[in-house]
């Protein structure tokens, strides 16, 4: 999330809405945002229903079942899923996303 935090002005200029989701409690997400200075919206998926719908919930036999898989979903204003990322390099991902958004015609205003 720090990479997104650091590039917030660039994302804001595109008009893109960034939403982060985790299985953490709202107060834990708020503490995380405060600690790292993250201004974006962080959603709590306590029952993991969104995680199951978007296939980010890990199976119970996974070494880290309490954490969601790192995924990014680009959903256009009409609700069409345009791109899905299985994030491997969290540090490089925000730059890649900005490049791909430009290729999709979503450019800074």
The two beta strands, 81-86 and 71-75, are antiparallel
Give this prediction's pTM. Answer: 0.85
What DSSP line would sit under 16-84, residue for residue? PPPEEEESS-HHHHHHHHHHHT--SEEEE-TT-HHHHHTT-SPPTTSS-TTS---EEEEE-TTS-EEEE
Per the structure, the complete domain to which residue 78 belongs is given by: 2-101
Can you give the pLDDT of all 109 residues of the chain as single tens digits?
A: 889 999 999 998 998 889 999 999 999 999 999 999 998 899 999 999 999 999 999 999 999 999 999 999 999 888 899 999 999 999 999 999 999 999 988 877 6
pLDDT digits over 69-80, tens only? 999 999 988 889
CA atoms within 13 A on the CB side of 57: 14
What's the total number of domains in the chain? 1
**Does 64 reside within a domain?**
yes
The domain that contains 75 carries what CATH number?
Answer: 3.40.30.10
**Does 62 reside within a domain?**
yes
């Amino acid at each position: 999330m720090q990479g997104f935090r650091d590039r917030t002005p660039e994302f804001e200029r595109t008009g893109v809405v960034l939403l982060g989701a985790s299985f953490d409690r709202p107060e834990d997400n708020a503490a995380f945002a405060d600690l790292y200075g993250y201004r974006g919206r962080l959603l709590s998926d306590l029952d993991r229903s969104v995680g199951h719908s978007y296939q980010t919930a890990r199976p119970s036999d996974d070494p880290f079942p309490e954490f969601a898989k790192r995924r990014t979903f680009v959903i256009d204003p009409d609700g069409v899923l345009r791109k899905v990322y299985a994030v491997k390099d969290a540090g490089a991902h925000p730059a890649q996303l900005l490049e791909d958004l430009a290729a999709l015609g979503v450019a800074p205003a």
